[in-house]
Structure 1
Amino acid sequence: MLVVKILLGLFGLGIVVFVHELGHFLAARLVGIDVEAFSIGWGKALFKKKVGAVEYRVSMFPIGGYCKMRGEHEFQEAYENQAKSVAPVPGTFYGATPLRRIVVAFAGPFFNILFAILVLSVIWGIGFEVTTLDNRIVLVSDINPGESYPADQGGLKTGDRIISINGKATANYHDIQEQIATNPEKNLPIQVERAGRTLDFTVRPSLDKSSGAGKIGIYFWSDPIISSVAEGSPGEIAGLRSGDRITRINGEDFPYSVAFFRILKDQPPVLAIDYERDGRSMQTDAVLSYTNGSADLGVSYAAIQFHTTRFSPLGALIKGARETWKTFTLSVKSFGLLFRGIDLTQAVSGPVRITYMVGDVAAEGFGQSIGAGFSSMANFLALISIALCIMNLLPLPVLDGGQIVLFIVEIIKRKPLHPRIINAFQTVGVVLVFGLMLFAVFGDILFLTRR
């Protein structure tokens, strides 16, 4: 299964990087910069064919690709020859005006945004299956007595149905998570429904330094109705089936599924389970085994599933653009949390972890159905594409944003930059990006050791 996830991840991540490089390629051709090679994949060329002045390649490692423009590294030769500027040869990268180079640099991130809009438009046009829970909550303090969380301090109670946060309706737990996770350490007005009454509270999410997200100390309510039982699990051996409703475990009422965590705190070797099947009360025992202090009964509980509304082509395009903008702004907002003391080894993902995550999302989706697999993977690829756009627009050397900064300075000065300045800028960029990559890969290794 791990191999399948990695292969799916490589394929998905390759698409996103390929789209980015395609943007650079098309923009370079548009503004008159010669492209020497355009490759699908990296490494040794397995297949190549020259069409006009461009050599098209299919390379060994199928992760994205690259666009090799004529003269894009001429500043290095000028630096080594101690020239005062790069010779503006027509058709080369540095022979183009700074504005045209800005267009080429910006085209890669821009194509990532276009890709996200296209993918999300298609998904919303055909509709997709959503698996979620409703907006009812369980306080973590009811599972771990003695601890206090922002939800407790704000006055929320188990069984409350959160109907809006910060003035935005919350129909399910995805809506609630979005508002809470993106607003750490901010006072949020929360409206709940409790015993037929509508009540207003203010809750201030704390910052989870392992992820950079806000949290208030809640689980989401799931009725203890079994939807599936894993083969060979303690639940199957005990005779539990899909459709059974668990009512009590070891003499404790079992009103919601997360009550299981409270019952397992004392690590009982055997669970006495009362349940209902077809209107009859029944009982069974389940023998548990513990690994690193945790055990799993092997059952999944029923969730809410629905198919989203299918939009018209124009409506889907508008919806796709809105969702892309929403994700873009949330991603920028989340990026700012990196500077607030969070655990960067958890929050910063490198290529290994991103590849695994893309493959994991796709594999889980395909495990449900072909349609769910494609929609899950497409949604995640759109997110990765937007993240790649934001990252590349950062004003750091080597990245597209850093290149744009250089070219803007050149426009302001009204003369080419000295090769020494360009070389120093690029060298700093290589060191920074390489250091970040090492840090991210270190975090990836820690991530994979926990799988």
Structure 2
Amino acid sequence: MLEILKTATEVLVGLVGLSILVFVHELGHLIAAKLLKLKVETFSLGYGKKLIGFKWGETTYQISWFPFGGFCKMQGEHLFAKAVEENLDKMPDDEEHYYNAPAWKRIIVSLAGPVANAILALLFITGLYLVGFNEYSSANRIVLASEFAAGQAAGPTYPANKAGLATGDLITAINGKEIRNFLEIRKAIVPHPKDELLLTVIRRNETLKLEITPELDTENSIGFIGIMEWKEPVIEKLGPKTEGLNPWLKQGDRIISLGGKPVEHVIAFLHMFKEKPSELPMVVERNGQQVTGSFAMSYYKKKTPLIDLEYKTGVYRSPSCSFFEAFSYGIEECGSIVSGIFKFFSLIPQKINLSRAVGGPIKTTVIIGLATGESVTKGFDYAVVQFIHYVAALSMTLGIMNLLPLPMLDGGYVILFAAEWIRRKSWRPRFLFRFQMIGIGIFAIILVFILFSDVSFLINLITGGSL
């Protein structure tokens, strides 16, 4: 029952996040139209039939039955349908008709939605840095993935091996920017496949400068170098399965050895179960004393070890900021998101897995909900921070994607209206109708692909696959 309630809450939170993105986008269109004296017929929070609402001026403001997302309907759209039906050469002479407004005004209204999404992202990130927030991560010490790779041949091909990195190294800077923890390493590596980076590394009190070029993970469309986080094997929380089989273990225990072999980090600890032992002798350190016991194990379908342990992570506080410093962090993060989107498009010819890289409303809802739900274990304030971070990143992405010059997207209408402005002549209603039909066709194809991606994502999630 609790699990069902948790899932329902995560879905609800995800829907709220998705709704914020769409609502702010449509709000941008509304504000621009009002400032330019263009009439808006309906502004709705949600879709479907009107639930409640009121009329202010010429605009009806309403909440619809499905209160997620929204739309902004310009006045005079019925006249456009009439012009198409009667095959008129131009729109009816009605000054209130949206398509009779000057082209430059329609361009601004079209751009206002993506701009609103960008402003939301900037405000959210600036606000986070201004207030301050905690991040949870292991330290900046690394483990080479090649040392625990399933195939021996895979190891030496990793960029980390080629660059000369070693297990136990501390990465203290990337391209001159200070690195405090593994989360910051991930943020610096993931967006930069094929880009050369300069690492500052400390190894046994010696400082090294190493050049490395992340490879492209075509399955996830991210950069990787073949390292994992060095997580100290200190038990933060025991799950019901492990605690039931090993009641002698306590929170705060530091695993010293397993099966007579020393345990330096969590990766090494988990690797010791590749032979699927049912029980191994274990030594832990508790309050300065060594405690010996027997660690019992169970396996899912006799293959995957069921170890529901959580390990202690460090807490890193964001730097204290003035408003202008927080604003600069916001600009920097938004810029990173934009550059990441363009990087993604440049990688498409390299046969990346688009079904994993691209997602629609289902995937967006699940990602926001899961990220927020999983963060609750570290405190409500951290869950709020994660929610805001994800909504900000997705808002920026939605804004940029809507600027693509495709029919039905804001970018497509900007190109259409700009061409009309240049030629100083309105498009025939029938041409606009065909433009919209082409857009609907393209959108339908994209929608099928996105739905396939979303369903595949859900199946992968339900069956225990990685995100």
2:33 is the alignment partner of 1:35: no
> Which residue type is aligned with residue 378 of structure 1?
I
Q: Indicate if the aligned counterparts of 2:241 and 2:307 stay in contact, CA closer than 8 A.
A: no
Distance 2:384 2:217 in 1: 31
2:411 is the alignment partner of 1:406: no
> Which residue type is aligned with residue 139 of structure 1?
L
* CA drift at 1:229: 1.4
Q: Identity percentage over the alignment? A: 35
* CA drift at 1:76: 4.1
Distance 2:97 2:349 in 1: 39
> Which residue type is aligned with residue 306 of structure 1?
Y
Q: Which residue is equivalent to 1:348?
A: 358
With over 3 angstroms needed to count, the CA separation of the structure-2 counterparts of 1:360 and 1:274, relative to structure 1, is: same
Q: Which residue is equivalent to 1:215?
A: 224
Q: Which residue is equivalent to 1:81?
A: 86
Per-residue CA distance 1:364-385 (angstroms, 9 max, x = gap)? 2233222112111111110111
Q: Which residue is equivalent to 1:154?
A: 163
Q: Which residue is equivalent to 1:373?
A: 383
Q: Indicate if the aligned counterparts of 2:337 and 2:397 stay in contact, CA closer than 8 A.
A: no
> Which residue type is aligned with residue 354 of structure 1?
T
> More displaced, 31-40 or 224-233?
224-233
With over 3 angstroms needed to count, the CA separation of the structure-2 counterparts of 1:236 and 1:276, relative to structure 1, is: farther
Distance 2:134 2:70 in 1: 32
* CA drift at 1:250: 1.6
Per-residue CA distance 1:3-62 (angstroms, 9 max, x = gap)? 111111111111111111111011111112111111111112111211221111111112
Q: Which residue is equivalent to 1:190?
A: 199
> More displaced, 319-328 or 296-305?
319-328
Distance 1:322 1:88 in 2: 47
Distance 1:99 1:233 in 2: 65
Distance 1:95 1:233 in 2: 69
Q: Which residue is equivalent to 1:299?
A: 309
Q: Indicate if the aligned counterparts of 2:420 and 2:427 stay in contact, CA closer than 8 A.
A: yes
> Which residue type is aligned with residue 350 of structure 1?
G
With over 3 angstroms needed to count, the CA separation of the structure-2 counterparts of 1:432 and 1:328, relative to structure 1, is: same
The total of aligned residue pairs comes to: 451
With over 3 angstroms needed to count, the CA separation of the structure-2 counterparts of 1:359 and 1:56, relative to structure 1, is: same
Q: Which residue is equivalent to 1:107?
A: 112
From 144, 148, 159, the counterpart of 1:139: 144
Q: Indicate if the aligned counterparts of 1:120 and 1:382 stay in contact, CA closer than 8 A.
A: yes
Q: Which residue is equivalent to 2:326?
A: 316
With over 3 angstroms needed to count, the CA separation of the structure-2 counterparts of 1:33 and 1:350, relative to structure 1, is: same
From 227, 249, 269, the counterpart of 1:260: 269
Distance 2:20 2:161 in 1: 45
Distance 1:180 1:373 in 2: 24
From 424, 430, 445, the counterpart of 2:440: 430
Q: Indicate if the aligned counterparts of 1:139 and 1:151 stay in contact, CA closer than 8 A.
A: yes
With over 3 angstroms needed to count, the CA separation of the structure-2 counterparts of 1:284 and 1:68, relative to structure 1, is: same
* CA drift at 1:74: 4.4
> More displaced, 115-124 or 414-423?
414-423
* CA drift at 1:274: 1.5
From 379, 382, 402, the counterpart of 1:392: 402
> Which residue type is aligned with residue 393 of structure 1?
L
Q: Indicate if the aligned counterparts of 2:241 and 2:306 stay in contact, CA closer than 8 A.
A: no
Distance 1:183 1:74 in 2: 50
TM-score normalised to structure 1 length: 0.95
Q: Indicate if the aligned counterparts of 1:143 and 1:261 stay in contact, CA closer than 8 A.
A: no
* CA drift at 1:300: 1.4
Distance 1:421 1:256 in 2: 65
What RMSD, in angstroms, separates the aligned Cα atoms of the two structures?
1.9
2:298 is the alignment partner of 1:289: yes
> Which residue type is aligned with residue 144 of structure 2?
L
With over 3 angstroms needed to count, the CA separation of the structure-2 counterparts of 1:417 and 1:359, relative to structure 1, is: same
Question: SS at the partner of 1:198?
Answer: strand
Distance 2:34 2:261 in 1: 70
2:26 is the alignment partner of 1:16: no
Q: Indicate if the aligned counterparts of 1:88 and 1:96 stay in contact, CA closer than 8 A.
A: no
* CA drift at 1:182: 1.6
With over 3 angstroms needed to count, the CA separation of the structure-2 counterparts of 1:243 and 1:75, relative to structure 1, is: same
Gap runs ≥5 in structure 2: 1-5, 462-467
Q: Which residue is equivalent to 1:244?
A: 253
> Which residue type is aligned with residue 371 of structure 2?
V
> Which residue type is aligned with residue 10 of structure 2?
K
With over 3 angstroms needed to count, the CA separation of the structure-2 counterparts of 1:135 and 1:391, relative to structure 1, is: same
> More displaced, 356-365 or 403-412?
356-365
